[in-house]
Structure 1
Amino acid sequence: MLLETIRPAASSAGSPLMRCLAIYRQMPKRFALTAMMLLAVNLALVAQQGLVGRAVREARLGDLVTRDVAGGLDYRRAWFWVAVLLGLSLARAVVQYGAGLLSLSIGQELLTILRARILAQIQQLDLTYHWRHGVGEMVTRMTRDADKVRDALINFWRQMFETGLIVLVSGAMLIWYSPWLGIVPLALVLAGIALLSAQAGALVRLDRRIGAAYDAVTQDLSEGVNGVRVIKAFGLGPARIARFDAHIATFRQEARAAIVHAARRVPLPQTVIALGHVWVLGYGAWLVSRGTIDLGAFVAALLVINTMVLRIETIGLLLQIIADARSSARRIWEVLDAEPGIVSGHAAVPFGPLGVRLEGVSVAPLEDGAAVLRDLSFTIRPGEIVALVGPTGSGKSILTALLPRLLDAGAGTVRIGSDEAGWRDVRDLDLAALRRRVHVLPQESFLFSDTLAANLRLTAPDADDARLYEALLQAAAGELLDRLPDGLATRVGDRGITLSGGQRQRICLARALLSDADLLVLDDATSALDAATERLAIANIRGLRAGAARPVTMLIVSSRLSTILAADRVLMLADGHVAASGTHDELVATSPAYRALMGLQP
């Protein structure tokens, strides 16, 4: 629901901040109610000031306190005005409190919608986008930038909307007392606002620089936390602290520049606006001396212009908030408007066992023209276990990312299927269905900060404990439960920090097996296992659905001889294409490059 509510705003024309404001269309009742309550509050404020003027007039005429027939003082008229003004103040306070709560409520909902949409968009964007943008940028947009947009739109209610109403109603009241009494202050207000608006562009540019500096701070902080083991292992603490301090210093410098700019430029327009108060005081006194307006109207006019000037003077702070929000909103929509490089097709995945067929595939993952894979072609038959080897940087991981469409080929086709069911281009297939049937297990064993059972159930939410235990046995991790204090309920810590590398890899392998994929790709996913455990795991997987209508097809990226010996066939990548193909014994006999890669003697 939250994701759907923002989509109409994404197609709206206008500035990024206005596109965020358009999200309020998804909550029209609360928006209208808040507007009506604030309208009532501000009309009541001006009316209250006018009533004070009426009370002053009656006091001057001697009608506020009179003598009764018995010669005593009659305070009924005075108590009447006290009751009216007090009652109006209390009612206004209650309504304003309710309007404030409503504006905060819709501001928080807007923040929730923005963050949910950013997270969903991050999941949709392809790997190349994430390679170009760091984690720090994404975190900043979801936290700092989203908060600034929320604050601006809340201040829209408390400043822009209310101040606009005050200016209009107060100006109308002053003009009603005397045309020039209201026209001059309104002209000064417009001039002051124009001067303030002229600073908006510079403030937006300054905030963009602050945002970039904050990105660097967030990125460095993320790397410092995630890489704490490396930092400690190599004694890099002082150097990393100095690096972080440098980023903080840059951020502080940019923030100070924005504050200095605002401090130098904002006072002048505020002074121009404040001259309206001087005008009403001087011109109003002259009108009273001529008898054009009475003392009550003059007092009411002073109260009205005082309220209007005080409200307008806060517009300098509002301008800073809006400028920050404009920059942040632009940064948010840069992410939300980014077109995912990979768009789902609609065709069904072929039924039955799945093989792989690449024809003339070329890939430049960073889209810089530097192809990692060039004119690559090969076929993996359904049910076959193939080892993929090659020197570092030959494109093995890039190749594995093509199969579930984590990346798309720049040229050529990647097909899955079989001779019986037919071969389908992965770009034509439904993406969710494709990734359910094709599972890539990367070398980095990522576990979420949750229980072991929760991590395993990510690919099989309905699996019972018996099925989880069976998957652990297939991944040669059956004894792991005996070592964990709470079994499946054991919390594994951030990224599985409480487990060893081999334990994490086996848990991730068990999670992949629970997905019941037909094509399983292991990208150096057993590198932390000893040879015996690795052979056991691969043998278990080989026996998985053996003889069934849907045998498991495996592509294993590895440089370990024990892994390669467990495969039916070996593919060797070199210079972006298959340099050799065959069994291990065949390649040892026929390929010097393979022997050199594996460190074998001819």
Structure 2
Amino acid sequence: MLLNLIGRLLAAHRMTVLAIICLQLVQTAANLMLPTLNAAIIDDGIVAGNTPVILRLGVAMAGVAALQVGAAIAAGYLGAVVAMRVGRELREELFARVQTLSSQEVGVFGAPSLVTRATNDVTQIQNLTVLAFTMLVAAPASFIGGIALALHQDLALTGIVVAVIPVLAVIMFLIVRRLIPLYRQGQTLIDRISRVLREQIIGANVIRGFVRQDHEIRRFDAANKDLTRNNLDSALLVARMNPLIMVVVNLSSVAVVWFGGHRIQSGEMRLGALTAFIAYILQILIAIMMAMYVFTTAPRAAACAERIQAVLDTEPSIDGPAAGHGLAVPDKAAPDGPPPDRPVPDGTVEFRDVAFAYPGAEAPVLAGVTFTARPGTTTAIVGATGSGKTTLLNLLPRFIDPTEGTISVGGRETRSLPLASLRERMAVVPQHSYLFSGTLAENLRMGRPDAGDGDLWRALETAQAAEFVRELDGGLDAPVSQGGTNFSGGQRQRLCIARALLRPAPVYVFDDSFSALDYGTDERLRAALEPLLRSATVLVVAERVSTIVDAGLILVLEDGRLVAQGTHKELLATSRTYQEIAASQLVLEETA
């Protein structure tokens, strides 16, 4: 999996990869030439007392050394560039794929795990790519070339190499076999500590409110200790490798000098040949060490590759027709619908026997929901907590898909429209008012990127947010913290409403978007919205019955079923569930 993933990413950089391989081969060839030149200087120059030979071979050695350094620098630079690009492209792929996944699919992995996969896991693969470009080509070339040239220098001493290589291979096998499960566990522990930390940061006020700081500190400490223990175990395994290798290398060097000295004394070997042989032995052992270093890093990268590939292989359940992965594609006309280059005739929304159930759930969240919301009419949705109000609205822009039934907008079944085309027909204010870090203007222009400052102020006026925005330092350029936490709940709701109002759309969806507003602001906001949205289809999840008495259609949900629909007066006369909701709120309003 690791090789397939890296190979696919490197395919776009094949020419650069070939250049790196050629540079590393040049570097290795130059490195292998140096001991031979050095042996010639000793035997033919120093021992023979031939100064011209020493000078000529010395200049050749300097030139070969310069070539080696130049090739190493160029290969290292190109390798780093390609590795960084691989990391960038892999992060882009992960981000693009996550953007196509539904909330259910994201929940399978978890937000902390997805963040870790897009950062730490990609970095591990990136690091392995750098090592591969630095060592993986040079190591086998040095190994093969070193053995060939060592054999050329002295056949008898090569037996030492034959004895050393299996010992090093056994050491590598034992270490890598224990590292693989440790690295896999380590990535899971990183996910765990990220999840705990994220929960503690986001839920800081809850933790303080219930005086649970000590408990959370212990919980984080436990996760931290588990990760530390795992990292320590893997680090100790890698640390043991170096002294073991050095023992083998040093013993082999001693053996070469010992037996080589005897062969020189007996006249079977020249002094220069012994120095060259020692250099080749060291190059062979260094090549093995380089390969071992790559192989000890590869298990962690392999574990990361499995986690990344699991995300990339997840096919989004929400997908448009011929849209590949749910990304925007040119719209295609459905057989029973208008051509894609024409606007939807109107914003009529139709639900026909719609049901939705989460995977593995014992009972559906929604069942048998049928209604029609027409342009120029506000359709309000009421019901107890957990009755399926938000789920119903999330089906409309296809944040989730129904398990049964059909939904259409403007006469087109939503599944027949590409996702981008469908969602462009809607302006949605979600239940949780979320703002992004940046400025107010940047947040508002998410609704319409080409909106001018005048458009922004008009939307803010309608949303009853202009007054407090004018009081901010910088006005539209005022900074917004992540999530909009530097604004109150009511201010965030109004800013999110203004953002939606900037988008001209046939359908507007307000998912409990007025709950944080006081009655006066709520009343002024709804009065300002009425002329602006007069020709649009408006769907509103409402908690206050008093705010929807003028709605053209009210849907009453109970345990996921549409138990009644009609106007306020009709429901008061016919629906017991609506009567109970209205009666409880009227009592509360009278005592307020």
Q: TM-score, normalised by structure 2?
A: 0.90
| Deviation per residue, 1:256-304 (Å, 9 max, x gap) | 2333455567866776676654554455445444544422111101011
When structure 1 is superposed on structure 2, of 443-452 and 535-544 the one drifting more is: 535-544
Matched position secondary structure for 2:556: strand
Aligned twin of 1:587 = 571
Check whether the contact 1:172–1:182 (CA below 8 A) recurs between aligned residues: no
Q: Residue 470 in 1 paired to residue 458 in 2?
A: yes
Task: Find the partner of 1:559 among 543, 549, 555.
Answer: 543
Whole-angstrom distance in 2 between the partners of 1:312 and 1:89: 22
1:311, distance to aligned residue in structure 2 (A): 3.5
Aligned twin of 1:379 = 372
Q: Residue 211 in 1 paired to residue 187 in 2?
A: yes
Q: 1:63 to 1:140 in 2, by over 3 A?
A: same
Check whether the contact 1:359–1:377 (CA below 8 A) recurs between aligned residues: yes
Matched position secondary structure for 2:562: strand
Q: 1:351 to 1:166 in 2, by over 3 A?
A: same
| Deviation per residue, 1:117-154 (Å, 9 max, x gap) | 11111111111112223211011101111111111111
Q: 1:90 to 1:542 in 2, by over 3 A?
A: same
AA of the residue aligned to 1:54: A
Whole-angstrom distance in 1 between the partners of 2:145 and 2:279: 13
Task: Find the partner of 1:502 among 474, 490, 508.
Answer: 490
Whole-angstrom distance in 2 between the partners of 1:161 and 1:252: 34
Check whether the contact 2:544–2:585 (CA below 8 A) recurs between aligned residues: no
Check whether the contact 1:188–1:275 (CA below 8 A) recurs between aligned residues: no
Matched position secondary structure for 1:378: strand
Aligned twin of 1:536 = 524
Provide the identity percentage. 31
Aligned twin of 1:69 = none
- What are the within-5 Å matches in structure 2 for residues 23-34 of structure 1? 23-34=9-20
Whole-angstrom distance in 1 between the partners of 2:564 and 2:159: 87
Check whether the contact 2:444–2:499 (CA below 8 A) recurs between aligned residues: yes
Q: 1:600 to 1:592 in 2, by over 3 A?
A: farther
Check whether the contact 2:182–2:234 (CA below 8 A) recurs between aligned residues: yes
Check whether the contact 1:111–1:146 (CA below 8 A) recurs between aligned residues: yes
Whole-angstrom distance in 1 between the partners of 2:162 and 2:355: 66
Whole-angstrom distance in 2 between the partners of 1:597 and 1:282: 97
| Deviation per residue, 1:365-412 (Å, 9 max, x gap) | 345454211222222123321111111111111111111111011111
Task: Find the partner of 1:131 among 89, 92, 107.
Answer: 107
Task: Find the partner of 2:400 among 401, 404, 407.
Answer: 407
Whole-angstrom distance in 1 between the partners of 2:465 and 2:186: 49
Q: Residue 143 in 1 paired to residue 131 in 2?
A: no
1:179, distance to aligned residue in structure 2 (A): 4.2
When structure 1 is superposed on structure 2, of 365-374 and 325-334 the one drifting more is: 365-374
Whole-angstrom distance in 2 between the partners of 1:123 and 1:77: 68
| Deviation per residue, 1:503-559 (Å, 9 max, x gap) | 11111111111122211111111111112222332333331253xxxx211111121
Whole-angstrom distance in 2 between the partners of 1:270 and 1:397: 65
| Deviation per residue, 1:188-244 (Å, 9 max, x gap) | 435633652455344222111111111011112222222333334443333322221
Q: Residue 84 in 1 paired to residue 60 in 2?
A: yes
Matched position secondary structure for 1:120: helix
Whole-angstrom distance in 2 between the partners of 1:99 and 1:401: 52
Check whether the contact 2:447–2:499 (CA below 8 A) recurs between aligned residues: yes
Whole-angstrom distance in 2 between the partners of 1:227 and 1:17: 40
1:600, distance to aligned residue in structure 2 (A): 5.4
Whole-angstrom distance in 1 between the partners of 2:362 and 2:34: 71
Q: Residue 389 in 1 paired to residue 382 in 2?
A: yes
Check whether the contact 1:189–1:272 (CA below 8 A) recurs between aligned residues: no
Q: 1:177 to 1:374 in 2, by over 3 A?
A: same
Matched position secondary structure for 2:465: coil
Whole-angstrom distance in 2 between the partners of 1:252 and 1:291: 58
Aligned twin of 2:328 = none
Whole-angstrom distance in 1 between the partners of 2:370 and 2:260: 89
1:573, distance to aligned residue in structure 2 (A): 0.8
Whole-angstrom distance in 2 between the partners of 1:601 and 1:480: 31
Q: 1:201 to 1:525 in 2, by over 3 A?
A: farther
| Deviation per residue, 1:400-439 (Å, 9 max, x gap) | 111111101111112221xxxxx22211111101011123
Whole-angstrom distance in 1 between the partners of 2:39 and 2:240: 38
| Deviation per residue, 1:140-172 (Å, 9 max, x gap) | 101111111111111112222221111011111
Q: Residue 575 in 1 paired to residue 559 in 2?
A: yes
The runs of 5 or more residues in structure 2 that have no matched partner are 322-330, 334-339, 588-592
Q: Residue 341 in 1 paired to residue 334 in 2?
A: no
AA of the residue aligned to 1:574: E
Q: 1:447 to 1:309 in 2, by over 3 A?
A: same
Q: Residue 185 in 1 paired to residue 171 in 2?
A: no
When structure 1 is superposed on structure 2, of 174-183 and 567-576 the one drifting more is: 174-183
Task: Find the partner of 1:58 among 36, 39, 44.
Answer: 44
Check whether the contact 1:111–1:150 (CA below 8 A) recurs between aligned residues: yes
1:597, distance to aligned residue in structure 2 (A): 2.7
Matched position secondary structure for 1:479: helix
| Deviation per residue, 1:542-580 (Å, 9 max, x gap) | 31253xxxx211111121123322422210111221011
Q: 1:201 to 1:392 in 2, by over 3 A?
A: farther
Q: 1:440 to 1:175 in 2, by over 3 A?
A: same
Check whether the contact 1:170–1:308 (CA below 8 A) recurs between aligned residues: yes
- What are the within-5 Å matches in structure 2 for residues 329-368 of structure 1? 329-345=305-321, 346-347=331-332, 351-368=344-361
Whole-angstrom distance in 1 between the partners of 2:170 and 2:551: 74
1:41, distance to aligned residue in structure 2 (A): 1.1
Whole-angstrom distance in 2 between the partners of 1:373 and 1:416: 19
Check whether the contact 2:550–2:568 (CA below 8 A) recurs between aligned residues: no
AA of the residue aligned to 2:543: S
- What are the within-5 Å matches in structure 2 for residues 130-279 of structure 1? 130-179=106-155, 181-182=157-158, 185=161, 188-189=164-165, 192-193=168-169, 196-197=172-173, 199-262=175-238, 277=253
Check whether the contact 2:507–2:537 (CA below 8 A) recurs between aligned residues: yes
Whole-angstrom distance in 2 between the partners of 1:287 and 1:428: 84
Matched position secondary structure for 1:218: helix
Whole-angstrom distance in 2 between the partners of 1:523 and 1:593: 21
Check whether the contact 2:463–2:498 (CA below 8 A) recurs between aligned residues: yes
Matched position secondary structure for 1:27: helix
When structure 1 is superposed on structure 2, of 320-329 and 369-378 the one drifting more is: 369-378
Whole-angstrom distance in 1 between the partners of 2:512 and 2:159: 77
| Deviation per residue, 1:322-367 (Å, 9 max, x gap) | 1111111111111111111111125457612212211222212345
Check whether the contact 1:355–1:553 (CA below 8 A) recurs between aligned residues: yes
AA of the residue aligned to 1:216: R
- The CA RMSD measured in Å over matched residues stands at 2.4
AA of the residue aligned to 2:514: T
Check whether the contact 1:196–1:269 (CA below 8 A) recurs between aligned residues: no
Check whether the contact 2:447–2:502 (CA below 8 A) recurs between aligned residues: yes
